[in-house]
A and B are shown apart, each in its own frame.
Chain A
Amino acid sequence: MKSNMTQITRNDVLKLAKLSNIKLRDEEVDKFVVELDAIVNYVEQIDSVKIDDLKPTDQVTGLENVTRPDEVIKYDSTGEELLKNLPNKDGKYIKVKRVL
């Protein structure tokens, strides 16, 4: 539990951007330091709530472990249609930049 207001720093933003796979430009970093700091401080209002030993909610209608039969469903699209949105391709392959 944090007792004091958190301060988001330039390093925090750079780290978050890296974890988020976003390469921010310098001017963006400065802006986000201010904005993310304001947002984090705003949401810290929930610190005032006593949480006792209540359970966290991640599903509101009480569903658990929903499964369906593993059946083949007919799909009308052709392979070509599925590949039409590829930004870079080589024949039927997705073409990406070098990995290493």
Chain B
Amino acid sequence: MPKYIWKSISDLADDVKSGKTTATELVEKSLELIEENEEFKPIIAVIKDGSLKRAKEIDSAIKSGKKVGRLAGVPFIAKDNFLVYGADTTAASNILKGFDAPYQSTAINKLEAEGAICVAKANLDAFAHGSSTENSDFFTTLNPHDKTRVPGGSSGGSAASVALSLAPFSLGSDTGGSIRQPASFCGVVGLKPTYGIVGRSGVVAMGSSLDVIGPIAKNVEDAATVLDVISGKDGLDMTMIDRDKESYSKLDKTIKGKKIGLIKEYMDESVDPEVIKVIKESVDKLVASGAIVEEVSLPLSKLGLPAYYILCPAEVSSNLSRYDGQRYGYSYKDAKDLSESYMLSRDVGFGDEAKRRIMIGTYVLSSGYYDAYYKKAQVVRTKIIEESDKAFSKFDFLVGPTTPTTAFKIGDKTGDPISMYLSDLMTVTANLTGCPSMSIPAGEAQGLPVGIQIIAAQRKDRELLGFAKGFEELN
């Protein structure tokens, strides 16, 4: 496990600005760590020349007394569904292999404007469909704590990268748990912000009413710093809402007097008893610090997953219709006409999980099935939101495990799509409600990390980060 410990993001940038270190040194260190840890396979592409060039630009700007940003010289890693200059954007899919983006995602632009430097693109389940990186069309990332286990997914490469200390932070995307579940499996901090406070332009779309992007970091403070930079106006994403007027780094760590709901349905027999034990110990720590913890029943929470597996594939089937083999990406060479070119490019270019989701999405949106599946799932979503609103009228935060188990063995769930889906059982609800949610390391079960999930009401991201920071300091 990590031999190298990065200072906090703010301290690193301060060191670069004061001349204690240079952007070039930080980038070189990150590139060296990436090379040393290749055996875990967290990375799809390294942006070596581009990142060193940017580091030199920042160093010479500092030398000539020019103003540099608050993340000056800080290296980071982006999930490979973010469009970034200097490396292909594949979303770990064969159909996008070799795609050289002609523009960059807003989140990357915002980080670069503050002086951060993208050094590599991380592995994921192709198109972010999955919970283990085993659905990557290229290779599976190994869990840094146990090479025979998955790192979680879909942002598995991003989470493993931070656990291995390859860079101080990474970016992920979360449609049903894809930031929080791998963060839990890898023992790092993962934040899914409120839907709409971070612009998604230039991130490969999956389920647009659910997709959120956010940071994976080694601690809450760094996650807050990154959120503060990437949130706010995009200009190209029309689903955005206003971010907090205060800085997300301005954290209130108070635990005393906070009302916490421990979600009953996430603590039942479907969850590994070892995981429950760790969560109970965390709750005891919160109580000892003055939090008021009560059990809360959310009976609809377990219907979140089946509703999600109607809504998400429906949106996937629409978003993935753009991959037609004509304008970019893989194109089947020997098709006899245009129609066959579409059909064969998509058969060869898409992996099994993408095909499953496209076909399920097409099914639930078909005439005759639309009301029974898609519309009904949208109504279930309304009911789940009402249940969540009711809980937040009583509690400041809801807590429970992030995942039902610790990291599972590679190959354990690949033969059964549903068993793979179930690993997102406790995370999908926050995507359906749009609420911010984090996974914070809470302890270990049989040597593997266990994450506690903390959920707040919509737009309470700063409050969530503050409470998470308070919890982190108890450990």
- A78: min CB distance to chain B, Å: 9
For the complex, is B344 an interface residue (Cβ under 8 Å from A)?
yes
Q: Are A45 and B306 interface neighbours, CB within 8 A?
A: yes
Q: Which of B316-375 contact A (CB under 8 A)?
A: 317, 321, 324-331, 335-338, 340-344, 346-347, 350, 352, 355-356, 358-360, 362-364, 366, 372-373, 375
Q: Chain A 14-31, CB within 8 Å of chain B: the 1/0 string?
A: 001101111111001001
Q: Which of B5-59 contact A (CB under 8 A)?
A: none
Interchain CA distance A48-B363 in the complex, whole Å: 20
Q: Are B310 and A46 interface neighbours, CB within 8 A?
A: yes
Residues of chain B within 8 A of A86, CB atoms compared: 327-328
State whether A39 and B303 are in contact (beta carbons under 8 Å apart), knowing that A55-B379, A66-B239, A86-B327 are contacts in the complex: no
State whether A16 and B362 are in contact (beta carbons under 8 Å apart), knowing that A23-B340, A25-B347, A39-B309 are contacts in the complex: yes
State whether A56 and B360 are in contact (beta carbons under 8 Å apart), knowing that A43-B309, A49-B300 are contacts in the complex: no
Q: Chain A 29-63, CB within 8 Å of chain B: the 1/0 string?
A: 00110011011101111111101001111111101
Q: Say whether chain A's binding surface is mostly helix, strand, loop, or mixed.
A: loop
Residue among A13, A47, A85, A94 with max Cβ neighbours from chain B (10 Å): A85
Q: Are A39 and B100 interface neighbours, CB within 8 A?
A: no
Q: Are B321 and A40 interface neighbours, CB within 8 A?
A: no
Q: Are A35 and B239 interface neighbours, CB within 8 A?
A: no
Residues of chain A within 8 A of B434, CB atoms compared: 60-61
- A98: min CB distance to chain B, Å: 5
Q: Are B362 and A43 interface neighbours, CB within 8 A?
A: no
Residues of chain A within 8 A of B336, CB atoms compared: 97
Contacts between chains A and B (CB distance < 8 A), count? 171
Q: Are B99 and A98 interface neighbours, CB within 8 A?
A: no
Interchain CA distance A82-B99 in the complex, whole Å: 11
Residues of chain B within 8 A of A48, CB atoms compared: 303
For the complex, is A99 an interface residue (Cβ under 8 Å from B)?
yes
Residues of chain B within 8 A of A38, CB atoms compared: 416-418
Residues of chain A within 8 A of B324, CB atoms compared: 21
Q: How many residues of A contact B (CB 8 A)?
A: 56
For the complex, is B382 an interface residue (Cβ under 8 Å from A)?
yes
Interchain CA distance A89-B264 in the complex, whole Å: 58
Residues of chain A within 8 A of B366, CB atoms compared: 19
Residues of chain B within 8 A of A31, CB atoms compared: 352
For the complex, is A68 an interface residue (Cβ under 8 Å from B)?
yes
State whether A97 and B338 are in contact (beta carbons under 8 Å apart), knowing that A36-B363, A55-B382 are contacts in the complex: yes
Residues of chain A within 8 A of B416, CB atoms compared: 38
- A1: min CB distance to chain B, Å: 6
Q: Are B385 and A42 interface neighbours, CB within 8 A?
A: no
Q: Are B359 and A81 interface neighbours, CB within 8 A?
A: no
For the complex, is B78 an interface residue (Cβ under 8 Å from A)?
no
Q: Are A97 and B341 interface neighbours, CB within 8 A?
A: yes
Interchain CA distance A25-B347 in the complex, whole Å: 8
Interface residue from A42, A49, A60, A77 paired with B418 (Cβ < 8 Å):
A42
Q: Are A42 and B306 interface neighbours, CB within 8 A?
A: yes
Q: Are A46 and B358 interface neighbours, CB within 8 A?
A: no
Residue among A55, A98, A99 with max Cβ neighbours from chain B (10 Å): A98
State whether A40 and B326 are in contact (beta carbons under 8 Å apart), knowing that A60-B209, A66-B238 are contacts in the complex: no
Q: Say whether chain B's binding surface is mostly helix, strand, loop, or mixed.
A: helix
- B340: min CB distance to chain A, Å: 7
- B321: min CB distance to chain A, Å: 7
Q: Are A59 and B209 interface neighbours, CB within 8 A?
A: yes
Q: Are A56 and B382 interface neighbours, CB within 8 A?
A: yes
Residues of chain B within 8 A of A81, CB atoms compared: 102
Q: Are B340 and A35 interface neighbours, CB within 8 A?
A: no
Q: Are B355 and A54 interface neighbours, CB within 8 A?
A: no
Residue among B300, B350, B380 with max Cβ neighbours from chain A (10 Å): B380
- B314: min CB distance to chain A, Å: 10
Q: Are B195 and A22 interface neighbours, CB within 8 A?
A: no
- B375: min CB distance to chain A, Å: 5
Interface residue from A1, A46, A94 paired with B380 (Cβ < 8 Å):
A46
For the complex, is A7 an interface residue (Cβ under 8 Å from B)?
no
Residues of chain A within 8 A of B364, CB atoms compared: 43
Q: Are A85 and B347 interface neighbours, CB within 8 A?
A: no
Q: Are B337 and A21 interface neighbours, CB within 8 A?
A: no
State whether A35 and B350 are in contact (beta carbons under 8 Å apart), knowing that A1-B372, A20-B317, A61-B195 are contacts in the complex: no
Residues of chain A within 8 A of B337, CB atoms compared: 97-100
* A residues apposed to B, CB below 8 Å: 1-2, 12-13, 16-17, 19-25, 28, 31-32, 35-36, 38-40, 42-49, 51, 54-61, 63, 66, 68, 75, 77, 81-82, 84-88, 94, 96-100
A–B pairs, 11, beta carbons within 8 Å: A16-B362, A22-B355, A35-B417, A38-B418, A39-B309, A47-B376, A49-B380, A51-B379, A51-B383, A58-B209, A85-B327
* B residues apposed to A, CB below 8 Å: 98-100, 102-103, 194-196, 209, 235, 238-239, 241, 300, 303, 306-307, 309-310, 317, 321, 324-331, 335-338, 340-344, 346-347, 350, 352, 355-356, 358-360, 362-364, 366, 372-373, 375-383, 385, 416-418, 421, 432-434, 458
List 14 additional contacts besides A49-B380, A68-B238, A85-B327; criterion CB under 8 Å: A2-B372, A12-B363, A32-B359, A36-B356, A43-B306, A46-B310, A47-B376, A55-B382, A59-B209, A59-B239, A61-B195, A63-B241, A66-B238, A66-B239
